[in-house]
Amino acid sequence: MQVLGIETSCDETAIAVYDSEVGILSHCLYSQIDLHNKYGGVVPELASREHVLKVLPLIKKTLIEGKTEFNLLNAVAYTMGPGLVGSLLVGCTVGRSLAYALSLPSIGIHHMEAHLLASMLEKNTPVYPFLALLVSGGHTQIVNVKASGIFKILGESVDDAAGEAFDKTAKVLGLPYPGGPALSALAEKGAGDRFQFPRPMANQPNLDFSFSGLKTFALNTIKSEYIDEQTRADVARAFVDAIVDTFIIKCRRAIKETGIRQLVVAGGVSANKQLQYGLITMLKEEGCEVFFPRDEYCTDNGAMIAYAGYLRIKKGQYEPLGFQAKPRWPIDNI
């Protein structure tokens, strides 16, 4: 079975074809970073217009690269939410219309579920039930993945998502959008013993997070210091250490409380090398296993949508002719 996947939930147009015999045949991505960079963040209206321009040429390119064609496809999957409504509507409309024109079933996919399923595209895969740490630009959650499509949210951010905290703090440090990778690279040059940032909510007996204070902490630190390149790097390092430590504390607690011994980490921030190193070390100490998607499947991509679509279509799940986009869509309500 071949499934076409279409991702347009934010600022990346991403397409892939998944083949149930072979795996991902091809995946292509057009990033709008250059377009939004000068505004310091994603401008939703510009994002949707750009998806409109890019989505069909990218589908064509992906089919050519995958050495496949429309009449070999068996289904179409598209991101239905959560995300920016205008951007989502582009992928939903194209996906549903394409499926109608080709007389194929189509399925709307939950973006965060797809992120966590991306780990299943690797050789070593987790087995249900497992824990998932979902860390993207819009979400920070610890989830108990009880079975395919059955989720219990154990904790989440009460304010900024981890990616959002990275992006806002990067801005404070004068780094370009999106800030995550740039901030992480700057932190590599920083000293770990110069500034000590708080570990938000670490002492509270729950699995929730709060990251908005870290940006303010970074801002106040910068204001009170003479700012040279080393100081910026030291602030970046203190910020990254605080985020990584907080995730280690909460994930350790989730493992102890649930007794579940496998953790999947997914979403854009899972590409962060300091976070990967911290979690791998902690899970080893606990005798548990951790799973990350490969780098290109950590951030937004079409492969995760095509694969999530395959899993649903295989179970006989597909949409009626009408379709919807869900900008807000809790993962425990799929």
Under the rule (CB under 6 A), what is the footprint of ligand KG4? 10, 136-138, 163, 166-167, 178-181, 184, 267-269, 271-272, 299-300
Give me the sheet containing 140-147, strands edge to edge: 150-156, 140-147, 130-135, 262-266, 289-291
Instruction: Give the nearer residue to Zn ion in terms of CB position, either 19 or 300.
Output: 300
Nearest approach, Cβ of residue 272 and Zn ion (Å)? 14
Q: Which is nearer to Zn ion, 47 or 173 (CB)?
A: 47
> Least distance (Å) from ligand KG4 to the CB of residue 37?
13
Q: Which does 180 bind (CB under 5 to 8 A by kind): Zn ion, ligand KG4, none?
A: ligand KG4
Which lies closer to ligand KG4 via its Cβ, residue 47 or residue 271?
Answer: 271
Q: Which positions ≥6 away from 266 have C-beta within 8 Å?
A: 112, 115, 116, 118, 119, 132, 133, 134, 135, 292, 293, 298
| 300 sits near Zn ion (criterion: CB under 5 A) | yes
Segments in the chain forming alpha helices (H): 33-37, 44-65, 85-101, 111-117, 162-172, 179-187, 212-223, 229-258, 273-285, 295-298, 303-314
> Which does residue 323 touch among Zn ion, ligand KG4, none (CB within 5 to 8 A, set by kind)?
none
Closest CB 282 distance from Zn ion, rounded Å: 24
Q: Which contiguous run of DSSP H or E holds residue 266?
A: strand 262-266
Part of the chain binding Zn ion (CB under 5 A), chosen from 209-217, 276-284, 292-300, 314-322: 292-300
- In the bound complex, what is the minimum distance in angstroms from residue 68's beta carbon to Zn ion? 25
Both tokens of 280, joined, read 């791998």
At which residue do the structure tokens 């007794």 appear?
259
Q: Which is nearer to ligand KG4, 4 or 243 (CB)?
A: 243
Least distance in angstroms from the C-beta of 115 to Zn ion: 6
Q: How many angstroms separate the Cα of 36 from the Cα of each of 10, 203, 296?
A: 11, 38, 20
Question: CA dihedral defined by 257, 263, 269, 275, rounded to 10 degrees?
Answer: 80
Q: How far apart are the first and last CA of the chain?
A: 24
Query: Binding residues for Zn ion, how many (CB under 5 A)?
Result: 2
Name which of 91 and 137 has its Cβ closer to ligand KG4: 137
As to burial, measured by CB atoms within 10 angstroms (0-12 exposed, 13-18 middle, 19+ buried), residue 274 is middle
CB of 319 to ligand KG4, least distance (A): 22
Q: Work out how close the CB of 221 gets to ligand KG4 at its nearest, in angstroms, rounded to a whole number.
A: 19
Nearer to ligand KG4 (CB atom), residue 170 or residue 260: 170
Among 2, 136, 231, 272, binds Zn ion (CB under 5 A): 136
Tokens of 188: 């590599």
Interacting stretch for Zn ion, rule CB under 5 A, among 16-24, 79-87, 128-136, 316-324? 128-136
CB-nearer residue toward ligand KG4: 19 or 164: 164
Paired tokens of 191? 């000293």
Q: Which is nearer to Zn ion, 62 or 136 (CB)?
A: 136
Q: What is the DSSP string of 45-103?
A: HHHHHHHHHHHHHHHHHHHHHTT--GGG--EEEEEEESS-HHHHHHHHHHHHHHHHHTT
Q: Which two tokens stand for residue 255?
A: 């493992």
Judged by CB under 5 A, the stretch of 29-37, 136-144, 161-169, 239-247 that binds Zn ion is 136-144
Which of ligand KG4, Zn ion, none does 290 bind, CB closer than 5 to 8 A by kind?
none
**Contact residues for Zn ion (CB under 5 A)?**
136, 300
